Amino acid sequence: MKTWYELNIIIPSSGGAERYTTCPQPECSRSRKKKNAKCLSVNVDKEVWVCHHCGWKGSLKQGEQGRPQADRWKPQVYARPVYVVPPTPSDQLVAFFEERHITSPTLERYKISLGIEWMPVSEDRVPVIQFPYLRGEEIINIKSRSLIGKEFRQTADAEKILYGLNDIEGSVYAIFVEGECDKLAIAEAGEYRVVSVPDGAPAANAKPSAKKFEYLENCQAFLDPLTQIVLAVDNDEPGKALERELVRRLGPERCWMVQWPEGIKDANQMLVEHGAEALRETISQARPTPIEHVLRVQDLATALLDYYHSGRQRGLSTGWPALDQFFTISPGQFTSITGIPSHGKSEFLDALMINMMSQHGSVFAIYSPENQPTEHHLAKLAEKIEGLPFLPGQTERMSPDQLFHAINWLEANLFIIDAPEPLSVDELLEKARALVLQKGITHLIIDPWNELDHARPERETETDYISKCLSKMKRFGRRHAVHTFCVAHPVKLVRDKNGNYPVPTPYDISGSAHWRNKPDNCLTIWRNTQDDEHYSEAHLMKVRWKQNGRIGVTAFQWSPVNGRYSETALREDQH
């Protein structure tokens, strides 16, 4: 049986049974910026330990029960495959692609070969076609497809990039397809500026994850110069889901869509059944994403038929059934939130954000200069996730395991925009656009409006400036299907005889009546500061679309222990 000394675990001299110290594993604390972080929990009574950073754990009696895992917070280290470029394609490989009207010179151009790989479904080593993914001269990944059947696998732990990436380097034009054979088919038709997504399309009803689209971030330097992107993905439901998400992330203003003829699923089938000229012609007839505010009736035909059969589609639930009667959250809309200072606008919005993450897998970006330092803000979010206080007090606090659970949970769903100086509206939206592309954010929080940099031309009135900025934020939301929340403070209001403030309306927001006119939804958070400071009300002052809700009030009880909001009965005597 080893001792603490033999394990290099330094036990703090003070504390109870549970104590915290630095992990001695060289691949853990010593490799981090914060080398002295106390991530190792030790229970001196039970003689056990666990590192909440690298996963190393064990007991003095039974020894080590888990070796350190890879550091979750280290930069990703990718595997690089070993690949021998064949001098010429094999006869078997040429025969396979002849059926798809793809010739030997194309196979040589893209260094495609035949190999043997273990395939999980077959549970055997089988002949495979190997598609090397290159960036410059370096082979980044290899995708293998079984020669018989349709099994796929990629190099384990390799970086995900687009297939054919070198062909669009320095170009302002690119075609996106869904598979390697589609890329090769269009090359046969004489157009090489084509890339294929590495993992195919997401399931038709699946939530597009950041992991699924990480290749966009990895290829951003190649994608930024593009001014025209033609989407020639598969003509099926998953293909349409891929098309919608690529439009959202890459920006509709530069995306064009290919419409395959009846009975044709993709570019390779088009080449086989109709030839190279027909394939070129079909791609040349790609239509741009409809220009904002300029639509043809046929552009709306599908949506109109869906509306006819399904009726109005409500937005996403807020997580509070009583509030859902008045307010649901739809992509691309703009919601203003106001309230007296210290009435809990930010606290309520944090709780709403956690609900959306939990129920819908929503991905948020937040710009909140008032919530500083950021680690204090994260502590409040952790309380809402775990339902326990962050700091010690009269009630049980969250454990280190629960804290690390909250950290990992937020890591996948929250991105914090932090800048040393206030950002302008344009600068903030530019960062948000990048997060749509790289991380797939679905919601943006600006908290509060007055912390942005509001420098404006000398002759521009505040009203005109606010109108212009709100229009920019709304256009951003519509283009990228991102619901934007903006917290804005009201002008100073007068207390009533009971010492309570009146409920502010959107017209009370400082600066302009556009705070009432422009948003799709207007929400006010009001708190009783005299009789019950934990009683709070959410007032929907405006809901533009009936399917999202209606004007009304919902009451909540706020818990000072964990920051959560629970619905309660509305007190009619409050106002």
In this prediction, residue 67 carries a pLDDT of 53
In this prediction, residue 159 carries a pLDDT of 93
In this prediction, residue 34 carries a pLDDT of 56
In this prediction, residue 119 carries a pLDDT of 85
Q: What is the rounded CA–CA span in Å between residue 36 and residue 400?
A: 16
Query: CB burial class (10 A; 0-12, 13-18, 19+) of residue 460?
Result: exposed
522 Cβ contact list (under 8 Å, min separation 6):
335, 336, 338, 505, 506, 515, 516, 540, 541, 542
pLDDT in tens, 362-394: 999 999 998 888 899 999 999 999 999 999 888
In this prediction, residue 243 carries a pLDDT of 94
pLDDT-based confidence at residue 511 (cuts at 50, 70, 90): confident
Q: What is the rounded CA–CA span in Å between residue 457 and residue 130?
A: 58
Place of tokens 């009451």: 555
Neighbours of 490 (CB within 10 A): 21
Contact by Cβ (8 Å): 119, 146: yes
Neighbours of 158 (CB within 10 A): 18
Q: Model's pTM, two decimal places?
A: 0.69
Average pLDDT estimate for 393-405: 88
pLDDT tops 90 at residue 507: yes
pLDDT in tens, 130-170: 999 999 999 999 999 999 888 999 998 899 999 999 999 99
Q: From residue 487, how far is each of 326, 436, 525 by CA, in Å?
A: 19, 21, 10
Average pLDDT estimate for 90-101: 94
Neighbours of 204 (CB within 10 A): 12
Q: From residue 270, how far is each of 106, 237, 273 by CA, in Å?
A: 17, 18, 5
Please, what is the average pLDDT of the chain? 88
DSSP state of 101: T
Based on its alpha-carbon atoms, the radius of gyration of the chain, rounded to whole angstroms, reads 28
Side-chain half-sphere exposure of 352, counting CA atoms within 13 A: 27
pLDDT in tens, 316-341: 999 999 999 999 999 999 999 999 98
In this prediction, residue 531 carries a pLDDT of 72
Backbone angles phi, psi at 297, to 5 degrees: -60, -40
345-360 vs 374-386: helix axis angle to the nearest 10? 60
